[in-house]
Amino acid sequence: GTSLEPTEYTDTVVQGQGQRDVLELRFPYTGQYMFHAHKTEFASLGWMGMFEVVE
């Protein structure tokens, strides 16, 4: 099964086509952060954007 405790820390999540995940993240600072795919042709499909971290 899957452990309920983190076993690694990473800033990259690998997903396959049509796959969905729920991510729980902690950020040391508030502000804007970027998310993006590692293929530039996906940026126009919404795979790149910003999100705001607040307290």
Confidence at residue 39, expressed as pLDDT on a 0 to 100 scale? 80
- The per-residue pLDDT for range 2-24, each reduced to its tens digit, is 788 878 777 788 888 888 888 88
Q: Which two tokens stand for residue 16?
A: 């396959």
Please compute the mean of the pLDDT values over residues 15-36 and round it to a whole number. Answer: 88
Q: With DSSP H G I counted as helix, E B as strand and the rest as coil, what are the percentages for the chain, rounded to 5?
A: 10, 20, 65
Which pTM was predicted?
0.60
Highest mean pLDDT among 13-17, 31-35, 36-40: 31-35
Confidence at residue 21, expressed as pLDDT on a 0 to 100 scale? 84
